[in-house]
Amino acid sequence: MAHECVQVAVRIRPLVQSEINTGCQVCLDVVPGEPQVQLRGTEKSFTYNHVFGADIEQEDFYNTAVKGMVDNIFKGYNVTILAYGQTGSGKTHSMGTCYNGGPNMGVIPRAIQDIFKISEAKQEYDIKVSISFLELYQEQLYDLLMDKPRSQCIVDIREDSVKGITVSGLTEIEVNNITETFECLTRGSLRRATGATAMNAHSSRSHAIFTIYIRQEKKGDPNSATIAKFHLVDLAGSERSKKTGATGERFKEGVNINKGLLALGNVISLLGEGKSTYIGYRDSKLTRLLQDSLDFIQFYVAWGICQKP
Ligand X SMILES: Nc1ncnc2c1ncn2[C@@H]1O[C@H](COP(=O)(O)OP(=O)(O)OP(=O)(O)O)[C@@H](O)[C@H]1O
Q: Strand locations in the chain, DSSP E?
A: 6-12, 25-26, 28-30, 36-39, 45-47, 50-52, 79-84, 125-137, 140-143, 154-160, 164-168, 173-175, 194-197, 200-204, 207-218, 226-234, 296-303, 306-307
Q: Which residue number, 204 or 256, has a Cβ lying nearer to ligand X?
A: 204
Residue 201's alpha-carbon distances to 18, 62, 88, 195, 305, in angstroms, are 11, 26, 9, 7, 17
Q: What residues numbered 224-283 form the site for ligand X, per CB under 6 A?
A: 236-237
Main-chain dihedrals φ then ψ at residue 157, nearest 5 degrees: -80, 140
Is 87 annotated in a binding site? The answer is yes
| Amino acid in the structure at residue 249 | E
Rounded CA gap, 164 and 185, in Å? 25
Is 88 annotated in a binding site? The answer is yes
Q: What interhelical angle do 67-74 and 58-65 show, nearest 10?
A: 40
Q: Which residue number, 119 or 244, has a Cβ lying nearer to ligand X?
A: 244
Q: Which residue number, 16 or 165, has a Cβ lying nearer to ligand X?
A: 16
How many CB atoms are closer than 10 A to CB 200? 21
Quote the distance between the C-alpha of residue 106 and its chain's center.
Answer: 11
Is 90 annotated in a binding site? The answer is yes
Query: Residue 61 belongs to what H/E stretch?
Result: helix 58-65
Rounded CA gap, 78 and 290, in Å? 10
Given the rule CB under 6 A, which of 8-16, 30-38, 116-124, 289-297 is the region that contacts ligand X? 8-16
Is 275 annotated in a binding site? The answer is no
- Cβ 56 to ligand X, closest distance in Å? 7
- Cβ 215 to ligand X, closest distance in Å? 31
Q: What residues numbered 90-149 form the site for ligand X, per CB under 6 A?
A: 90-93
Q: 27 with 304: CB under 8 angstroms?
A: no
Is 85 annotated in a binding site? The answer is yes
Nearest partner of 292 among 302, 304, 274, 279, judged by Cα = 279
- Cβ 84 to ligand X, closest distance in Å? 9
* Binding letters toward ligand X, positions 74-93, x by CB under 6 A: -----------x-xxxxxxx
Q: What residues numbered 11-70 form the site for ligand X, per CB under 6 A?
A: 13-14, 16
- Cβ 33 to ligand X, closest distance in Å? 22
Q: What residues numbered 188-207 form the site for ligand X, per CB under 6 A?
A: 200, 203-204
Residue 302 lies near ligand X (rule: CB under 6 A): yes
- Cβ 160 to ligand X, closest distance in Å? 33
- Cβ 37 to ligand X, closest distance in Å? 15
Is 92 annotated in a binding site? The answer is yes
Q: Which residue number, 158 or 240, has a Cβ lying nearer to ligand X?
A: 240
* SS3 assignment, position 203: strand
Q: Which residue number, 200 or 284, has a Cβ lying nearer to ligand X?
A: 200
Is 106 annotated in a binding site? The answer is no
- Cβ 188 to ligand X, closest distance in Å? 16
* Binding letters toward ligand X, positions 153-192, x by CB under 6 A: ----------------------------------------
Q: Are strands 207-218 and 125-137 parallel, antiparallel or unpaired?
A: antiparallel
Quote the distance between the C-alpha of residue 259 and its chain's center.
Answer: 17
Cite the annotated binding site by residue number: 85-92
Q: Which residues participate in the annotated binding site for ATP?
A: 85-92
Interface residues with ligand X (CB under 6 A)? 13-14, 16, 85, 87-93, 200, 203-204, 236-237, 302
